């Protein structure tokens, strides 16, 4: 009897599970699956302290605050890298950027960084019945390395899950300075073809280096190749005069495309990746915003982006979509002031702190490199609140998959859908951070930065990179600003952090 009893209990338990358990699980699944419209609004180089709701800086960003105060504001939300292309790659694929050796800051002629066979958020959502689009900055490479900009450029966004794409190829400071719609350069005239090179100039074409008299914006470091609209860029470009964008109109232009997509797709679930270009250099606010921040063009373009966000949210409301749309707002990496042009970002900063209470900035392994504004907003579904759960942008793929009933997932990402929707406070236990191919390890309240060669400070941009000859170990619960290296004082912690780090990252 003594042995039979547990078997019997098990049998009953199994019966109960089969008759009720499974049914409950099924019901639960169906009630939990939600297919709201999903919009990821992604900023370029916006710092933790640039959003006033984060209570760290001096800028006023009412529309970003509207999301933060009406949704879930994450205080430990991370981009996957301290630079753009790797972060974006990780956001799209849910895969750590350091797993892809090509995930570095890309030239405007770099091939597509995402494999066409890789899982991406738009691919996954498309399979769940979503209409998908990207509007704005791409910077994940295009083509196979031999791009002819006068033909349809592919593979690109349309080959990795986006039904519709309206993008700039790389960055605002890189050629080609044109928009592409579904792979086709817009406004291109056949008798004025485009040629692009990152190796050498085209004969007779002026450059920022040789023709300072043609410049309306002066370069500080880099950015001295082809001149477009008086602004010297990275890379050389010839032709395509009619196709060239107007820098000051870019924000309005992308906003129009983002709004049009939403209006068109209002009757079916849609996914929009709206990647704004602000406040990356060159900072070219529309005249409406010039001088508005008192902080020079960097502040002005953040106000411009804030306005765009407000207009976009108004469109959702006008279309009756606000209560059926999950909006996720974040940034690709931390802030930088002087990123290569004399644009008074340093001189006019005043008391503003784009990095908030954090150390470092763009390019840095310190917190300000990757800890960014991170907000989820869904009117009527997400209760306003603040979360200190650790969440990374690599978790979005798995979280959105689980929310929409897709079984697909990446192996680096986690399903934090409940946390994203404010229904749980569970975050990641640990996370590998990346900055210009170097990596660091976050776990609990701790961060470990292994020794790296290289300068402690990038003098051009005046940012501490996180390089040191020894290990760095910080307890962020007591030392958010990473001032006290505890590596020597706490060898046990150092050892266990290192072991956990190596287990994920490899030697």
The footprint of ligand NG6 (CB under 6 A) covers 44-45, 83-84, 105, 139, 171, 173, 221-223, 234, 280-281, 333, 339-340
Nearer to Ca ion, 105 or 195 (CB): 105
Rounded to a whole number of angstroms, the minimum distance from the CB of residue 47 to Ca ion is 11
Q: Which two tokens stand for residue 248?
A: 């000051």
Do residues 431 and 444 touch, judged by C-beta distance below 8 A?
A: no
- Beta carbon of residue 221, minimum distance to ligand NG6 (angstroms, whole number): 5
Residue 58's nearest CA partner among 47, 67, 49, 66 is: 49
Q: Do residues 479 and 422 lie in contact, with contact meaning Cβ atoms separated by under 8 Å?
A: no
Q: Which residue has the tokens 């020079």?
A: 296
Give the DSSP H or E segment for 77. strand 77-78
61/324 with CB nearer Ca ion: 61
Report the alpha-carbon distance of residue 460 to residue 219 in Å, rounded. Answer: 12
Least Cβ distance, residue 58 to ligand NG6 (angstroms) = 23
Phi and psi at 153, nearest 5°, equal: -90, 120
What does 340 interact with, of ligand NG6, Ca ion, none (CB < 5 to 8 A by kind)?
A: ligand NG6
Residues 364-393 interacting with Ca ion (rule: CB under 5 A): none
59 phi, psi to nearest 5 deg: -75, 155
Handedness of CA 235, 339, 453, 392 (dihedral sign): negative
* CB of residue 136 to ligand NG6, shortest distance in Å: 12
The entry of ligand NG6, Ca ion, none that residue 495 binds, CB within 5 to 8 Å by partner kind: none
Positive or negative, the Cα torsion across 231, 236, 242, 247?
negative
Closest CB to Ca ion among 45 and 173? 45
Distance in Å, CB of 141 to Ca ion, minimum: 15
Angle between helix 84-93 and helix 395-404 axes, rounded to 10 deg = 30
Could you tell which of Ca ion, ligand NG6, none binds residue 339, using a CB distance below 5 to 8 A set by kind? ligand NG6
Nearest distance, CB of residue 184 and ligand NG6, angstroms: 23
Q: Binding residues for Ca ion, how many (CB under 5 A)?
A: 5
Q: Whole-angstrom Cα distance, residue 177 to residue 6?
A: 72
276-298: burial string, b at 16+ Cβ within 10 Å, e else: bbbbbbbbbbbeebeeebebbbb
Cα 265 to Cα 251, 259, 294, 381, 400, distances in angstroms: 21, 10, 39, 21, 19
Instruction: Write down the least CB distance from residue 465 to Ca ion, Å.
Output: 16
CB-nearest residue to ligand NG6:
222
Nearest of 364, 217, 33 to residue 228 by alpha carbon: 217
Residues numbered 407 to 466 that lie near Ca ion (CB under 5 A) are none
- Write out the H or E segment, with its range, that includes residue 30: helix 22-32
User: Among 423, 441, 421, 419, which residue's Cα sits nearest to residue 432?
Assistant: 441
**358 vs 356: CA distance, rounded Å:** 5
Report helix, strand or coil for 34: coil
Q: How far is the CB of 219 from ligand NG6 (least distance, A)?
A: 9
**Which residue lies nearer to ligand NG6 by CB, 339 or 343?**
339
Q: Which residue is nearest to Ca ion (CB)?
A: 84
Binding to Ca ion, residues 311-340 (CB under 5 A): 332-333
Question: Considering only 68-76, 82-90, 147-155, 270-278, which stretch makes contact with Ca ion by CB under 5 A?
Answer: 82-90
Task: Give the span between the Cα atoms of 501 and 434, in whole angstroms.
Answer: 13
E-strand stretches of 332-437: 374-377, 385-387, 391-392, 430-435
- Picked from ligand NG6, Ca ion, none, the partner binding residue 65 (CB below 5 to 8 A depending on kind) is none
165 binds Ca ion (CB under 5 A): no
In 10 A of CB 28, how many CB atoms? 10
- Among the listed residues 84, 308, 327, 337, the single contact to Ca ion using CB under 5 A: 84
95 binding Ca ion? (CB under 5 A) = no
Taking the complex as a whole, how short is the minimal distance between the CB of residue 207 and ligand NG6, in angstroms?
14
Partner interacting with residue 173 (select from ligand NG6, Ca ion, none; CB below 5-8 Å by kind):
ligand NG6
Nearer to Ca ion, 44 or 304 (CB): 44
Q: Which is nearer to Ca ion, 324 or 333 (CB)?
A: 333
Contact of residue 92 among Ca ion, ligand NG6, none (CB under 5-8 Å per partner type): none
Which of 167/234 has CB closer to ligand NG6? 234
- The listed partner (Ca ion, ligand NG6, none) that binds 175, CB under 5 to 8 Å by sort, is none
Q: Which does 233 bind (CB under 5 to 8 A by kind): Ca ion, ligand NG6, none?
A: none
Give me the count of residues in the chain: 507
Binding interface with Ca ion (CB under 5 A): 44-45, 84, 332-333
């Amino acid at each position: 009897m003594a042995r039979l009893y547990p078997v019997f209990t098990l049998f009953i338990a199994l019966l109960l599970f089969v008759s009720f358990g499974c049914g409950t699980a099924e019901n639960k699944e169906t009630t939990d699956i939600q297919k709201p419209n999903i919009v990821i609004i992604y900023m370029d180089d916006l710092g933790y302290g640039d959003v006033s709701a984060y209570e760290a800086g001096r800028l006023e960003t009412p529309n970003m605050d509207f999301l933060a105060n009406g949704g879930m504001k994450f205080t430990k939300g991370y981009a996957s890298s301290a630079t753009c292309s790797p972060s974006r790659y990780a956001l799209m694929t849910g895969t750590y950027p350091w797993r892809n050796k090509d995930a570095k800051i890309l030239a405007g002629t770099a091939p597509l960084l995402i494999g066409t066979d890789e899982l991406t958020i738009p691919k996954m959502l498309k399979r769940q019945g979503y209409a998908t689009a990207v509007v704005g900055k791409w910077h994940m490479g295009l083509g196979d390395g031999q791009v002819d900009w006068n033909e349809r450029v592919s593979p690109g966004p349309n080959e990795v899950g986006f039904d519709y794409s309206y993008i700039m190829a790389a960055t605002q400071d890189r050629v080609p300075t044109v928009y592409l719609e579904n792979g086709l350069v817009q406004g291109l005239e056949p008798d004025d073809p485009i040629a692009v090179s990152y190796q050498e100039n085209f004969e007779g074409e002026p450059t920022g280096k040789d023709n300072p008299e043609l410049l309306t914006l002066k370069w500080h470091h880099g950015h001295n190749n082809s001149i477009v609209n008086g602004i010297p860029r990275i890379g050389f470009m010839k032709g395509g005069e009619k196709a060239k964008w107007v820098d000051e109109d870019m924000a309005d232009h992308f906003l129009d495309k983002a709004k049009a997509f939403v209006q068109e797709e209002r009757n079916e679930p849609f996914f929009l990746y709206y990647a704004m270009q602000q406040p990356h250099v060159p900072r070219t606010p529309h005249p409406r915003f010039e001088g508005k921040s008192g902080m020079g063009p960097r502040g002005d373009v953040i106000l411009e982006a804030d306005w765009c966000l407000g207009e976009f949210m108004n469109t959702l409301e006008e279309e009756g979509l606000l209560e059926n749309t999950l909006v996720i707002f974040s940034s690709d990496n931390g802030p930088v002031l002087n990123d290569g042009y004399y644009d008074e970002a340093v001189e006019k900063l005043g008391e503003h702190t784009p990095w908030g209470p954090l150390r470092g900035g763009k390019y840095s392994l310190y917190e300000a490199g990757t800890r960014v504004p991170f907000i989820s907003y869904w009117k009527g579904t997400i209760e306003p609140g603040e979360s200190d759960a650790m969440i990374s942008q690599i978790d979005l793929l798995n979280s959105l998959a689980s929310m929409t009933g897709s079984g697909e997932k990446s192996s680096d990402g986690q399903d934090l859908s409940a946390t994203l929707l404010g229904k749980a406070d569970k975050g990641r236990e640990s996370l590998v951070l990346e900055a210009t191919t170097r990596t660091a390890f976050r776990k609990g309240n701790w961060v470990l930065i292994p020794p790296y060669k290289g300068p402690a400070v990038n003098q051009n941009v005046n940012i501490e990179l996180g390089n040191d000859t020894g290990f760095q170990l910080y307890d962020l619960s007591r030392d958010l600003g990473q001032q006290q290296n505890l590596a020597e004082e706490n060898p046990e912690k150092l050892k266990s952090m290192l072991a956990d780090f190596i287990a994920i990252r490899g030697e």
